[in-house]
Structure 1
Amino acid sequence: MRKSIAAASALFALCVSTGALADGNKLLLECQDGINSMSGAVAQNGVGVGHCVGVLQATMDTLDLFHEAGGLPRLVCVPEGGIPMIQSMRIIVQSLQAHPESLHLNESVLVVAALKNAFPCQ
């Protein structure tokens, strides 16, 4: 139980610690650029695309870590073998566009919410 509480506290701290620096507005632009560049266009901001990929991968890895090492229940249940990065980007962009009232929130919180909606656990 203590491990679960500690893991949940660490996840919460991670999500709010960068809130002022990284929100959905920036992530939306970066991930849209990432989709375009993975579809054959030239990236407008290669560093931003890398940031989008990093946030998505780090958030998914952190969710897995807290489940495996922290003993927390799975929050997101992606299909066996994972999903392509461009699919992750599309899910995030669709969610951010559907909820513009939430763009001020921390990007990791928004990624978790989008993935939970796309891949709920039974």
Structure 2
Amino acid sequence: MEVAASQTSLTPPRSRTALFLWVIALVIASTASSMVMAENDTGNNLLQHCKQTVYLLDNNFNATPGTNDLEVGRCIGLVEGVRHTMIYLSSVMPKDIEVCWPKNGITNGQAVRIVTRWLETHPEQLQENPTYLVMKSFIDAYGCKKSGRRS
């Protein structure tokens, strides 16, 4: 069962110092998690992980032999983490990468499907960093510049 994530539940820090400290904490956490990941982690890996996730979503979470729970978790975790970071930092994002999320937010399942479809339609970029590719997929799907909307 999925629960929609509301943008309003994430409130950006009120001061620049708090924002700076939050960003530093995010960088440290990101660096630590990157050390656990393979050095050659790319969009190719993310696409395979997220395809498994979409398969599980489409099949009521009935896994098949060969489904790797860790890879499914990496897809969901990265997609959700990037999405929440983009929501949290939306007030300080540069205008060219600003994202105008739907009013009621999106579910993790929707987010994974958006990322998977974007990766499948942009194979020329699969050598890039997975975090970067997730950001690009959300900017392409919900970019304010593209839609003419403001968040």
- Scaled by the length of structure 2, what TM-score is found? 0.63
Residue pair 2:90, 2:99 contacting (<8 A) in 1 also: no
Deviation at 1:21, TM superposition (A): 4.3
Query: Does residue 31 in structure 1 map to residue 39 in structure 2?
Result: no
1:95 to 96, 99, 118: 118
Tell me which residue corresponds to 1:53.
Answer: 76
Higher mean alpha-carbon deviation, 55-64 vs 40-49, is at 40-49
Q: What CA distance in whole angstroms lies between the structure 1 residues aligned with 2:121 and 2:136?
A: 12
Aligned CA RMSD, in angstroms, stands at 3.2
Greater Rg over alpha carbons, structure: 2
- Aligned ranges for residues 54-69 of structure 1 at < 5 Å? 54-68=77-91
SS of residue paired to 1:42 = coil
* Alpha-carbon contact 1:20-1:106 (below 8 Å) kept: no
- In the alignment, structure 1 segments of 5+ residues that lack a partner are none
Taking only the aligned residue pairs, the percentage that are identical comes to: 28
Q: TM-score scaled to structure 1, two decimals?
A: 0.77
Count of paired positions: 117
Paired with 1:110 and 1:60, the residues of 2 have a C-alpha distance of 12
Distance 1:86 1:115 in 2: 14
Q: Is this contact kept in 1: 2:47–2:116, CA < 8 A?
A: yes
